[in-house]
Chain A
Amino acid sequence: MSASAIPTVPTPLTSEQAEAMAQRQIKKHHVAIVLLHWFNAISWLLELATGAGLIVSPYYRFAPLWYLQMMEGIFGSRANMLRFHIAVGLTWTAVFLVYAIFGFRNYLRIEVLQHEIGLDRDDMQWLKVRTLLLLSRTKDPLPPQGVYNAGQKLFALLVYTMVPLIMLTGLTMTFHWFGTTFVAWAMVLHFFAVGMVVSGLMIHVYMGAVFPEEKPAFYSMITGVVDELYAYRHHFKWWRAVKIEEQTWRDELRSKEEGGARSTDEKPDDNSGSDNAPLISRPQSGDRR
């Protein structure tokens, strides 16, 4: 496909086009990200399970008594459960610290974050339409989305704010930093932050594991890739960027082969009219989480 033929907005596909697209793969997640994701998932599972089992005061408790008893039985004592919770929590924190330090340039720079999880007009529209769709109150199409859709972006924002809070408050409680008042506030904020993430987590898990439309997304967290059709349908702006990059690469290659005699006559159209999300200069397509 020539650069000029890369659509700027998602257009209906012919069945052959769709067929072809469904066969092709685009890399979305780096293997490190995949591993990190599942490490995170397991840690969260363990921490939620033990965390819930540790809170026994009627002022804070939410797990039923049979659950508390069961967990105490599994660990032998709640003290052991707490030790386990701290051990996993510290490991989890340490791993993400490493990620934050070594992956800062690729994943946590402000430009990267703005591009991947910054909300634009399309995102706001998407949120409105998606909600109405859920309630069968509209038949409008969803606006095109970037590498992560608005819902995913919202979840990311939630996680990025809550997780550092969970880590800091967890550390405060473990090491009794800055005294009792701090520890007490840390405890409450810890519960709050976890609770908020859990609310987003439910959608995240549902969307990933249960909702059939997002099945490719789920598999991408194992294989690292999605099929092009899915990308086209659900993350059009990202698909487009990938395609443009491919095209650019091919063009560069061709001009090298042809000794630079022919110049590219058309510049790829960077901006579709419908959104104004800037393309970053040197992304690695897809592997950002």
Chain B
Amino acid sequence: MSKITRRGFLQTSSALAGLVGTGVASAESRPPSWRGETRVEQIATNCEMCFWRCGVMAEVADGKVLKLAGNPQHPLTGGQLCARGNAGTQLLYDPDRLKYPLIRIGNRGEGKFRRASWDEALDFFATHLKDLKQKYGAESVGFFPHGVAAGFFGTLMKAYGTPNAAEPAFAQCRGPRDIGYQLTFGRAVNSPEPVDLEESKCIVLIGSHIGENVFTSQVTNFITGLQRGAKLIVVDPRFSTAASKADHWLPIKPGTDIALLMAWANILIVETLYDKQYIEQYATGMKELEAHVKDFTPEWAESMTEIPAAQIRDTAHMMAEAKPAVAIHPGRHVTWYGDDTQRARAMAILTALLGAYGRKGGMFLPTKVKQGRIPLPPMPESERGRADGAGTKYPLATEESQGLTQGLVQATMNASPYPIKGWVVYGQNILESIPQRQNTLKAIEQLEFMAVVDVLPVEQTNYADLVLPEATYLERYDPPAVVTTSKRPFVAIRQPAIDPLYESKPGWWIAKELANRMGLADYFPWKDPEDHLSRLVQPLGINLAELKSLGAVSFDGHPYIDDRKEEDGPIFPTQSGKIELVSSVLKDLNFDSLPKFTAVEQPPPGYMRLIYGRAPMHSFSRSENNSWLDDLMPDNQVWINAEFAAKAGIKNGQVVILENQDGAKSLPIAVRATVGIRNDCAYMVHGFGTRAKGLTKAYKRGASDTDLITRVSIDPIMGATGMRVNFVRVLPTTGERS
């Protein structure tokens, strides 16, 4: 396209102006930040493109963030930064961002809003919440937060008086493994996972796809471990990136992991390959365990898992040889079949048998960081208690957990145990994170008030009465990241690189302003976020200026049993003070105190089990609308076994629609016919196919697996929603993906 551009004109006139021998240096390409003469500032903060919060240096000049890079001083991630972290500027400058407070006009769901001032919007919120408290009680407001940044809002909602806060991180993601490991070792796994990958001699991944699941430092440690000679065993129905680096790839039949884990335990015990001294010193319940695993032979396991018994033996021996430096990764998203807590227990038991918990190359121990506390007035007690079943129906989904989102949805839908009439959603994509979205939509119909605080116009903003635009992570202070599950624990800052764009505001400001209007100002007894921050970090001896310039301050850690000190507390904070191979808590609650294998329902003929995961250049729907990341991966594909596809007459690249057992259909999605997946599974990356029109780049690109997760299998122990219990078949559409 021809244009006499301004650049072209300037080029010409400068060409005319500068003739012979001015000695102008040839214009080599230079990084954007170095082209001008303006001073470039480096601001240390941390990333929020996922939740690992890697250290980031933002290069800022003239009020613009020019580039993001890793922070070489960061104790966890060093100078490394993944694709999403590098693309953070495209979130900051995404034209689709929420810019102004919005108040609904028209019907809920139409997505029609009028712009409001912050004063009006904040009053609107405060008034409605006051009304709901008067009419139905404070518990009638459900709160759906996500991430550390929700801390301020969490305080606000607790102070308001509702116990009903639920994050998907528990019941849709990590909950079962946290509970499973807590029951065994006395503490949850937490995040970042304290797996000593870099020192390990044998790494075992069960349904974990490190490499496609990219958390910067985890990849670094994983690869370092492998480069140092660690063996790798990958258990996955799909030939993942991790599987491509494995010494053993076990393409397990989905739903049979407990059989494999118990068979491994069987071999270690029967062949006396387990760490006898460690077990004798630190564990209880060995006799019962020995009796329990007697029948879980490799041959039996082969019939369940479709993994050859010889390979089950080989891999067990591989682990035994490497013990105690065996890193069995607890996984991250583990809500699969409804028996997930038991599977986590099996993995914990195996870890214990190998003597790996608290040992180098296995799992290391967290070191406390005694950050300051800001004294607050006491939080109101709720008489009626939680409505989502956490702590009651699911006794192990304790108060300290992050609640049961689907429980809250059910409670709202059914007005049981009491009516829930208001929802406040902070940074949680409820229609795509919580399975059975048909229920979520029904629940929304019951609401009298729904407020959404977010950065992007995700789908639920269409249903909100009030939308409040939050500033992105690059424009705000958040509570500091206090990481104990790192070999060197640390405190990291999140501080703004530039002032908020448009009329967006940081979460702390919104929460504090609301508190003022709701009579809860006493719960925010700090002047500004720097005041808040300094009161938290000063007791640790951290100077705020130092923290701001370095980005993070770290401390000595005591990661291994041999390093532990008095102040670290008990090594195994269980009831017995030891590793509970047999869980006393589960026994008391009448659950299986040792993991049992239960067969899961198989897909009917012609159907495949739907499984899902991550891609390294996206953080699910959080990055779906990111221009650079979309350029790398604009949509997802469905992986189908090549033979299966051929038999069904489906070609690679063909666009199809998936239909599940309940008749729910997906958006059109292209097929990746590959030899690298079992023929009873179909895999897709989660986080695509949004129905949010406001996300112009992501709207209806690819397909959403949430559309197909209409059925869940609830874990009776802690209420997690097992989601890999849906089966899909392929409906061909005409035409290829363009």
A and B touch in the complex (CB under 8 A): yes
For residue B5, which residue of chain A has the nearest CB?
A: A175
- The answer to whether B18 has its CB under 8 Å from any CB of chain A is yes
- The answer to whether A83 has its CB under 8 Å from any CB of chain B is yes
Contact A80 B20 (CB under 8 A): yes
- The answer to whether B416 has its CB under 8 Å from any CB of chain A is no
Of A80, A86, A174, the residue contacting B22 (CB under 8 A) is: A80
Given contacts A79-B26, A87-B15, A90-B15, contact A175 B4 (CB under 8 A): yes
Contact A87 B16 (CB under 8 A): yes
- The answer to whether B632 has its CB under 8 Å from any CB of chain A is no
Q: Which of B1-60 contact A (CB under 8 A)?
A: 1-2, 4-5, 8, 11-12, 14-16, 18-24, 26-27
How far is the CB of B189 from the nearest CB of chain A, in Å? 54
Contact B24 A90 (CB under 8 A): no
Of B8, B16, B27, the residue contacting A175 (CB under 8 A) is: B8
Q: Which of A51-80 contact B (CB under 8 A)?
A: 74-77, 79-80
How far is the CB of B238 from the nearest CB of chain A, in Å? 41
Could you tell me the distance between the alpha carbons of A90 and B17 in the complex, rounded to whole angstroms?
12
For residue B23, which residue of chain A has the nearest CB?
A: A76
Could you tell me the distance between the alpha carbons of A208 and B12 in the complex, rounded to whole angstroms?
34
- The answer to whether A179 has its CB under 8 Å from any CB of chain B is yes
Could you tell me the distance between the alpha carbons of A86 and B11 in the complex, rounded to whole angstroms?
10
Contact A84 B12 (CB under 8 A): no
Given contacts A75-B20, A179-B1, contact A86 B8 (CB under 8 A): no
- Residue numbers in B under 8 Å from A75 (CB-CB): 20-21
The interface size bin for chain A is 10 to 19
- Residue numbers in A under 8 Å from B18 (CB-CB): 80, 83
Q: Which of A156-214 contact B (CB under 8 A)?
A: 174-175, 177-179
How far is the CB of A50 from the nearest CB of chain B, in Å? 10
Contact A175 B2 (CB under 8 A): yes
How far is the CB of A186 from the nearest CB of chain B, in Å? 12
Could you tell me the distance between the alpha carbons of A90 and B21 in the complex, rounded to whole angstroms?
19
- Residue numbers in B under 8 Å from A80 (CB-CB): 18-24
Could you tell me the distance between the alpha carbons of A175 and B2 in the complex, rounded to whole angstroms?
8
How far is the CB of A118 from the nearest CB of chain B, in Å? 34
- The answer to whether A264 has its CB under 8 Å from any CB of chain B is no
Residue-wise, chain A 90-117 has the 8 Å CB interface mask toward B (1 for contact) of 1100000000000000000000000000
Contact A86 B15 (CB under 8 A): yes
- Residue numbers in A under 8 Å from B22 (CB-CB): 76, 80
Contact B16 A91 (CB under 8 A): yes
Given contacts A76-B21, A80-B21, contact A86 B26 (CB under 8 A): no
- Residue numbers in A under 8 Å from B12 (CB-CB): 86, 90, 174
For residue A82, which residue of chain B has the nearest CB?
A: B15
- Residue numbers in A under 8 Å from B20 (CB-CB): 74-76, 80, 84
How far is the CB of A146 from the nearest CB of chain B, in Å? 39
- Residue numbers in A under 8 Å from B26 (CB-CB): 77, 79
Could you tell me the distance between the alpha carbons of A90 and B14 in the complex, rounded to whole angstroms?
12
How far is the CB of A139 from the nearest CB of chain B, in Å? 53
- Residue numbers in A under 8 Å from B1 (CB-CB): 178-179
How far is the CB of A83 from the nearest CB of chain B, in Å? 5
Of A74, A77, A90, A178, the residue contacting B16 (CB under 8 A) is: A90
Looking at B5, B20, B27, the one whose CB has the most chain A CB atoms below 10 A away is B20
Could you tell me the distance between the alpha carbons of A2 and B14 in the complex, rounded to whole angstroms?
61
Contact A84 B2 (CB under 8 A): no
Could you tell me the distance between the alpha carbons of A79 and B11 in the complex, rounded to whole angstroms?
13
For residue B26, which residue of chain A has the nearest CB?
A: A79
How far is the CB of B468 from the nearest CB of chain A, in Å? 45
Could you tell me the distance between the alpha carbons of A80 and B12 in the complex, rounded to whole angstroms?
13
Contact B21 A83 (CB under 8 A): no
- Residue numbers in B under 8 Å from A177 (CB-CB): 2
For residue B8, which residue of chain A has the nearest CB?
A: A175
Could you tell me the distance between the alpha carbons of A79 and B2 in the complex, rounded to whole angstroms?
23
- Residue numbers in B under 8 Å from A91 (CB-CB): 16
Of B8, B19, B27, the residue contacting A87 (CB under 8 A) is: B19
How far is the CB of A63 from the nearest CB of chain B, in Å? 19
- Residue numbers in A under 8 Å from B23 (CB-CB): 76-77, 80
- Residue numbers in B under 8 Å from A178 (CB-CB): 1-2
How far is the CB of A45 from the nearest CB of chain B, in Å? 15
Could you tell me the distance between the alpha carbons of A90 and B2 in the complex, rounded to whole angstroms?
17
How far is the CB of A56 from the nearest CB of chain B, in Å? 14
For residue A179, which residue of chain B has the nearest CB?
A: B1
Could you tell me the distance between the alpha carbons of A236 and B23 in the complex, rounded to whole angstroms?
55
Could you tell me the distance between the alpha carbons of A190 and B658 in the complex, rounded to whole angstroms?
57
Could you tell me the distance between the alpha carbons of A74 and B1 in the complex, rounded to whole angstroms?
36
How far is the CB of A207 from the nearest CB of chain B, in Å? 32
Given contacts A175-B2, A177-B2, contact A79 B16 (CB under 8 A): no
Could you tell me the distance between the alpha carbons of A168 and B26 in the complex, rounded to whole angstroms?
26
Could you tell me the distance between the alpha carbons of A77 and B2 in the complex, rounded to whole angstroms?
28
Of A74, A79, A86, A87, the residue contacting B24 (CB under 8 A) is: A79
How far is the CB of B543 from the nearest CB of chain A, in Å? 50
How far is the CB of B21 from the nearest CB of chain A, in Å? 5
- Residue numbers in A under 8 Å from B2 (CB-CB): 175, 177-178
- Residue numbers in B under 8 Å from A86 (CB-CB): 12, 15
Could you tell me the distance between the alpha carbons of A83 and B8 in the complex, rounded to whole angstroms?
13
How far is the CB of B18 from the nearest CB of chain A, in Å? 6
Contact B4 A83 (CB under 8 A): no
How far is the CB of A268 from the nearest CB of chain B, in Å? 52
Could you tell me the distance between the alpha carbons of A231 and B14 in the complex, rounded to whole angstroms?
47
Could you tell me the distance between the alpha carbons of A87 and B17 in the complex, rounded to whole angstroms?
8
Q: Which of A122-165 contact B (CB under 8 A)?
A: none
Contact A84 B8 (CB under 8 A): no
How far is the CB of B79 from the nearest CB of chain A, in Å? 35
Could you tell me the distance between the alpha carbons of A179 and B12 in the complex, rounded to whole angstroms?
18
- Residue numbers in B under 8 Å from A175 (CB-CB): 2, 4-5, 8, 11
Could you tell me the distance between the alpha carbons of A103 and B22 in the complex, rounded to whole angstroms?
37
Could you tell me the distance between the alpha carbons of A83 and B18 in the complex, rounded to whole angstroms?
8
Could you tell me the distance between the alpha carbons of A74 and B19 in the complex, rounded to whole angstroms?
12
- Residue numbers in B under 8 Å from A77 (CB-CB): 23-24, 26
How far is the CB of A97 from the nearest CB of chain B, in Å? 14
Could you tell me the distance between the alpha carbons of A87 and B2 in the complex, rounded to whole angstroms?
20
How far is the CB of B644 from the nearest CB of chain A, in Å? 44
- Residue numbers in A under 8 Å from B16 (CB-CB): 87, 90-91
Could you tell me the distance between the alpha carbons of A76 and B23 in the complex, rounded to whole angstroms?
6
Could you tell me the distance between the alpha carbons of A175 and B6 in the complex, rounded to whole angstroms?
11
- Residue numbers in B under 8 Å from A174 (CB-CB): 8, 11-12
Could you tell me the distance between the alpha carbons of A74 and B5 in the complex, rounded to whole angstroms?
31
Could you tell me the distance between the alpha carbons of A114 and B336 in the complex, rounded to whole angstroms?
88
Looking at A75, A87, A179, the one whose CB has the most chain B CB atoms below 10 A away is A87
How far is the CB of B432 from the nearest CB of chain A, in Å? 40
Q: Which residues of A contact B (CB under 8 A)?
A: 74-77, 79-80, 83-84, 86-87, 90-91, 174-175, 177-179
Q: List 15 A-B contacts (CB under 8 A).
A: A76-B21, A77-B23, A79-B26, A80-B19, A80-B22, A80-B23, A83-B18, A83-B19, A84-B15, A84-B19, A90-B12, A174-B8, A175-B2, A175-B4, A175-B8
Which 9 residue pairs of A and B lie closest in terms of their CB atoms, listed nearest first? A177-B2, A83-B15, A87-B16, A175-B8, A76-B21, A79-B26, A87-B15, A86-B15, A178-B2
**Known contacts A74-B20, A87-B19, A175-B2, then 18 further A-B pairs from the complex at CB < 8 Å, ordered by chain A residue:** A76-B21, A76-B22, A76-B23, A77-B23, A80-B19, A80-B23, A80-B24, A83-B18, A84-B20, A86-B12, A90-B12, A91-B16, A174-B12, A175-B4, A177-B2, A178-B1, A178-B2, A179-B1
